[in-house]
Amino acid sequence: MITKLKEPILRITGLSHRYSSNWAIRDIEMEIYQNGITGLLGSNGAGKSTTMNILCGVLTQTRGDVFINGIDLRKQPEKAKQFIGFLPQSPPLYADLTVDEYLTHCAVIRSVDKSYLPDALEDAKQRCGLSHISKRLIRNLSGGYKQRVGIAQAIIHHPRLVVLDEPTNGLDPNQILEVRALIKEIAEDHAVVLSTHMLSEVQYLCQDIKMIENGRIVFSDTMEAFDNYVAPDCLFVIMEEPPAVDSLMEIPGVIRAEYLTDKKIRIYFNGDKTISERIVLASAQQSWRLSEIRAEKNSLNETFAQLSKVSGNQKNKI
């Protein structure tokens, strides 16, 4: 069950970091008050991993503040990290240990009480589907199970905040579905921050989204609000007897049409949700013999560009 709290689990203010003279991130702001999944979406090199490494205490920021459960991460790192579970992009696994040996080691360094350690170990294995392979060497596991072990080490001490950096990177389609289901289950009683460059990942998993590009947050809202930016803006159609472009332009809502082949056409429209019905009706009336029609969404790169432009225009008005 997703619960909302008065004190933010995570609060980031004015977070900036540079490597040498180059700023990797600038003025990042973020607050998370409840369990569930917040997606940090961005293209490769946008600043996601830098942000993740800072909020987990792996990297010290140039300026700005990070508070975990109200604790200043820079001033009280050990105390703050008790509330964080972190899965980096490359899981920190020890290949020559068994699953049990590795997770026990992780529990010890996370200061799990010895009297509770067996229960913590069993709970993490059960939640991540690892109980039946607990005696196997990590080196002999598949990519999907290695990722499960990585997630298990991130939750073994029952943190309030679980940070996952590209958690499905390098997995096959079946493994991706399994890990996504696991993440959704974990989010029922943890606040999860998930970074990814895959739009499908955040659409499937996240309730809220922070979009970062060129080191800055360019969008921060719900998944529903974000979907407005990636809504279909054109249609792909195939007609056996297609008309001239001028005839298509006469259909209300059509703003542009381009022929890809002699029968395949991309039609751009103004957002009118009845545009498909209008095209089907016109085809039937004019005998264009429409055989296929489907929506095409903005690409992720186009969405990044749109949001970056909007964010830039807003900054210029300030």
What CATH number does residue 265 fall under? Answer: 3.30.70.100
Q: Is there a single domain that holds both residue 38 and residue 163?
A: yes
- How many domains does one find in the chain? 2
Query: What digits encode the pLDDT tens for the residues 239-272?
Result: 999 999 999 999 999 999 999 999 999 998 887 8
Question: Which tokens is 223 given?
Answer: 């998944």
Q: Are 136 and 96 in contact (CB under 8 A)?
A: no
Percent of the chain with pLDDT over 90: 71
Residue where a domain stops, chosen among 172, 203, 227:
227
Residue where a domain stops, chosen among 227, 249, 267:
227
Spatial distance between the Cα atoms of 209 and 230, rounded to a whole number of angstroms: 13
Q: Is there a single domain that holds both residue 102 and residue 25?
A: yes
Tell me the torsion sign for CA atoms 113, 117, 119, 122. Answer: positive
Query: What digits encode the pLDDT tens for the residues 202-233?
Result: 888 999 999 898 899 988 998 878 776 666 67
Q: Is there a single domain that holds both residue 281 and residue 255?
A: yes
Q: Please indicate, yes or no, if residue 65 is contained in any of the structural domains.
A: yes
Provide the pLDDT confidence category of residue 299 given band limits of 50, 70 and 90: low
* Nearest-5° Cα angle at 65, 152 to 219: 75
- Taking the CA of residue 118 as centre, how many other CA atoms within 13 Å lie in the half-sphere pointing to its CB? 1
Spatial distance between the Cα atoms of 83 and 76, rounded to a whole number of angstroms: 12
pTM, to two decimals = 0.75
Q: What average pLDDT does the structure give for the chain?
A: 89
Q: Please indicate, yes or no, if residue 57 is contained in any of the structural domains.
A: yes
Question: What's the pLDDT score for residue 113?
Answer: 94
Q: Please indicate, yes or no, if residue 219 is contained in any of the structural domains.
A: yes
Query: At residue 314, does pLDDT exceed 60?
Result: no
Tell me the CATH number at 118: 3.40.50.300
Lowest mean pLDDT among 138-142, 151-155, 290-294, 295-299: 295-299
Q: Please indicate, yes or no, if residue 24 is contained in any of the structural domains.
A: yes
Q: Is there a single domain that holds both residue 117 and residue 260?
A: no
| Cβ neighbour number for residue 156 with a 10 Å cutoff | 24
What are the Cα distances from residue 203, in Å, to 44, 253, 298? 18, 28, 14
Domain range spanning residue 86?
Answer: 10-227
Query: At residue 121, does pLDDT exceed 80?
Result: yes
Q: Please indicate, yes or no, if residue 316 is contained in any of the structural domains.
A: no
Q: Is there a single domain that holds both residue 237 and residue 292?
A: yes
**DSSP structure string for 185-199:** HHTTSSEEEEEES-H
Name the amino acid, one letter, at 51.
T
Q: Is there a single domain that holds both residue 113 and residue 170?
A: yes
Provide the pLDDT confidence category of residue 153 given band limits of 50, 70 and 90: very high
Q: Is 52 exposed, middle or buried (0-12, 13-18, 19+ CB in 10 A)?
A: buried
Enter the DSSP assignment of 138: G
Of 3, 140, 137, 17, whose CA–CA distance to 74 is shortest?
17
Q: Please indicate, yes or no, if residue 318 is contained in any of the structural domains.
A: no
φ, ψ dihedrals at 177, nearest 5°: -65, -40
Lowest mean pLDDT among 105-114, 165-174, 236-245: 165-174
Provide the pLDDT confidence category of residue 295 given band limits of 50, 70 and 90: confident
317 versus 231: which is more confidently predicted? 231
Provide the pLDDT confidence category of residue 315 given band limits of 50, 70 and 90: very low
What are the Cα distances from residue 309, in Å, to 119, 232, 305, 313? 51, 19, 6, 6
Helices (H) and strands (E) in the chain, counts: 11, 14
